[in-house]
Chains A and B, each alone.
Chain A
């Protein structure tokens, strides 16, 4: 085999004088300098779901990486246009299924902003608890799977054990472990049961111990540091330019956190710190996420301490279903019940966008309404989709084995990437 030319042109970032994208033919002059095209995924344990990467390799070095997504596309945004606002809640469970409660909250906040509804103090605090519980389970899954990808098995077991405890609390609260559908427009589907507070308090007391153990096993571990330090670096300017958000953005040294800079749910009244990285590599992303778990634990403790009594739903029969007993005995309540179930909650004409700090990054919910009970457009700003789009940039020039570490550090969940 001597000279060969692959008759293929791939568009590369860049434009020629005519404003057309530049296309570079893939060529390899001889066997010695031959590039290998490798298909990774969609069924591969290290792609964290059905992500497919086509990688061009020079030896073991990644020359180019082309992600292919869409295998899990379910058309949630289209479905949302045919559903009442409260019927959209179950769809949000299934986008980022590693932090379903936070998704429920984000969607409800956007719908409430659109309708101009002020939620009750107890509901606000309970939603903060839901968000921070989600942050912990999502980061625990991330930590477990990433450590497995890089060859450490023990932290995976510890992390999943902690996640299990939160799942038990979620099940106690909503009846479901994964498809929680916690929120309703103007409130919550249910108040917390009696043993919940005690269970969560027990969790927040012991959870830092596990974090400390994970810290001891990984942070100064030579293999872990060697596999992650200096890998997949994004400078602050690049991180901003690529629209990264969440831990990815902060690991690059940009201290933007929606909870601090555009507070919702009264996050400005909680005392917590935003960890910021220095080098923007995989190691810093690990450190940022680990510290975020500590901070989430702090917020949970403060939320439990201040949890007020009172109703969880707003006092507005046009938005909140009356209790079943009243709907069956009181004429007016029955009419409200009927109208809400059959017609849905009508939103005024207009649009609203609410971004919340999800575990993966900024989750945005954007509703456009034409005055009916179903949105004209429901857009999810998917944080892991946008973070993943920087993968080719981060992987370039690294080894194939580092691609696994970089891909893991993005913390993708394909349900949300593909929606």
Chain B
């Protein structure tokens, strides 16, 4: 088994977790190559993506890790693959959506919570927080538990928010409804707060 792990493209080093699982650290540039190899090589066949998440340590010197939990359903084995990102660097990795479609929402959640961008993801939007959320990335260690804004500021923002924005006028095709929407909403759209005003 160990000799097989040596063959993973871009492999940096290994570790063993306390639950006995093998962790393989992979170079960030070669992640997609390594994942493709793990999924498609006979004898590996990691066909199931269990989870994608990220870990930031309290020690700020340590790199932020993106963790992939892989499983081979036929061989009934698990493998943990990690990519290390320096917080000072650009937080970007390649998306594995092309290999496992299950990565779609998982990567969106990591992006939402940690601000790690996935290159090549088809629809990288915030998922749990709302699209206009301005306080940053909640699961980062520099994000205070109570949020970045004071309660007063949060209330102020909520009261000043455009309630229609919550209904994502883009999707509800404002162009169609232009004649029917209330005047104040039309004003906001003209100011360019949301969507594009039809000709």
Hey, which bits of chain A sit against chain B, CB under 8 A? 4-8, 10-15, 19, 21-22, 26, 37, 39, 54, 66, 68-70, 73, 75, 77-79, 82, 113-114, 116, 240-244, 254, 256, 261-262, 348, 350-355, 362, 364, 366, 368, 370, 376-377, 379, 381, 385-386, 388-390, 393, 418-419
Q: Which of B2-10, B122-130, B150-158 is near enough to bind chain A?
A: B122-130
Find residues 30-80 in chain B having any chain A CB closer than 8 Å to their own CB.
Answer: 47-51, 53, 55-59, 67, 69, 73, 76, 78, 80
A385 & B105 in contact (Cβ 8 Å cutoff):
yes
A6 & B128 in contact (Cβ 8 Å cutoff):
no
A353 & B19 in contact (Cβ 8 Å cutoff):
yes
Instruction: Give the chain A neighbours of B48 by CB distance below 8 A.
Output: 240, 243, 256
Among residues of B, the one whose C-beta sits closest to the C-beta of A368 is: B55
A85–chain B nearest beta-carbon distance, Å = 14
A15 & B173 in contact (Cβ 8 Å cutoff):
no
Given A8-B170, A66-B171, A243-B49, A352 and B128 contact (CB-CB distance below 8 Å):
no
A79 & B145 in contact (Cβ 8 Å cutoff):
yes
B173 & A379 in contact (Cβ 8 Å cutoff):
no
Q: Mark B109-130, 1 if CB is under 8 A from A, else 0.
A: 1000100000111110011111
Instruction: Give the chain A neighbours of B128 by CB distance below 8 A.
Output: 69-70, 73, 418-419
Instruction: Give the chain B neighbours of A21 by CB distance below 8 A.
Output: 120-123
Among residues of A, the one whose C-beta sits closest to the C-beta of B140 is: A78
Instruction: Give the chain B neighbours of A386 by CB distance below 8 A.
Output: 102, 105-106
Q: Is B21 an interface residue (CB 8 A)?
A: yes
Instruction: Give the chain B neighbours of A39 by CB distance below 8 A.
Output: 167, 172
Instruction: Give the chain B neighbours of A114 by CB distance below 8 A.
Output: 18-19
CA distance in complex: A348, B198 (Å)? 60
Q: Is B168 an interface residue (CB 8 A)?
A: yes
Instruction: Give the chain B neighbours of A370 by CB distance below 8 A.
Output: 57-59
Which residue from A15, A352, A388 sits with its C-beta under 8 Å from B18?
A352
Instruction: Give the chain A neighbours of B78 by CB distance below 8 A.
Output: 262
Given A262-B76, A364-B51, A78 and B102 contact (CB-CB distance below 8 Å):
no
Given A69-B127, A386-B106, A12 and B122 contact (CB-CB distance below 8 Å):
yes
A241–chain B nearest beta-carbon distance, Å = 5
CA distance in complex: A10, B53 (Å)? 26
Among residues of A, the one whose C-beta sits closest to the C-beta of B120 is: A19
Instruction: Give the chain B neighbours of A393 by CB distance below 8 A.
Output: 101
A389 & B102 in contact (Cβ 8 Å cutoff):
yes
Instruction: Give the chain B neighbours of A11 by CB distance below 8 A.
Output: 122-123
CA distance in complex: A184, B156 (Å)? 41
Given A11-B122, A70-B129, A389-B105, A6 and B100 contact (CB-CB distance below 8 Å):
no
Q: Is B176 an interface residue (CB 8 A)?
A: yes
Q: Mark B145-180, 1 if CB is under 8 A from A, else 0.
A: 100000000000000000000011011110110000
Q: Is B196 an interface residue (CB 8 A)?
A: yes
Which residue from B109, B113, B176 sits with its C-beta under 8 Å from A6?
B176
Instruction: Give the chain A neighbours of B126 by CB distance below 8 A.
Output: 70
Given A11-B122, A26-B173, A366 and B18 contact (CB-CB distance below 8 Å):
no
Instruction: Give the chain B neighbours of A352 by CB distance below 8 A.
Output: 17-19
Given A13-B122, A348-B18, A364 and B102 contact (CB-CB distance below 8 Å):
no
A37 & B50 in contact (Cβ 8 Å cutoff):
no
B18 & A37 in contact (Cβ 8 Å cutoff):
no
Q: Which 8 A-B pairs have the closest CB atoms?
A: A243-B102, A389-B105, A350-B18, A70-B128, A11-B123, A352-B19, A21-B122, A6-B173
Given A7-B198, A66-B171, A78-B145, A379 and B53 contact (CB-CB distance below 8 Å):
yes
A82 & B145 in contact (Cβ 8 Å cutoff):
yes
A243–chain B nearest beta-carbon distance, Å = 3
Among residues of A, the one whose C-beta sits closest to the C-beta of B126 is: A70
CA distance in complex: A240, B167 (Å)? 33
A376 & B139 in contact (Cβ 8 Å cutoff):
no
Q: Apart from A4-B176, A7-B195, what 18 extra A-B contacts exist at CB < 8 Å?
A: A7-B196, A11-B122, A37-B171, A37-B173, A54-B171, A54-B172, A68-B168, A77-B113, A116-B18, A241-B100, A242-B102, A243-B101, A350-B17, A362-B50, A377-B53, A377-B55, A389-B104, A390-B101
Instruction: Give the chain B neighbours of A376 by CB distance below 8 A.
Output: 55-58
CA distance in complex: A240, B102 (Å)? 8
Which residue from B17, B56, B101, B145 sits with its C-beta under 8 Å from A13?
B101
Given A351-B18, A370-B58, A377-B55, A7 and B120 contact (CB-CB distance below 8 Å):
no
A416–chain B nearest beta-carbon distance, Å = 12
Which residue from A10, A70, A242, A244 sits with its C-beta under 8 Å from B130?
A70
CA distance in complex: A226, B48 (Å)? 32
Instruction: Give the chain A neighbours of B19 by CB distance below 8 A.
Output: 113-114, 351-354
CA distance in complex: A39, B18 (Å)? 46
Among residues of B, the one whose C-beta sits closest to the C-beta of A6 is: B173
CA distance in complex: A386, B105 (Å)? 7
Among residues of A, the one whose C-beta sits closest to the C-beta of B53 is: A379
CA distance in complex: A379, B80 (Å)? 14
A75 & B138 in contact (Cβ 8 Å cutoff):
yes
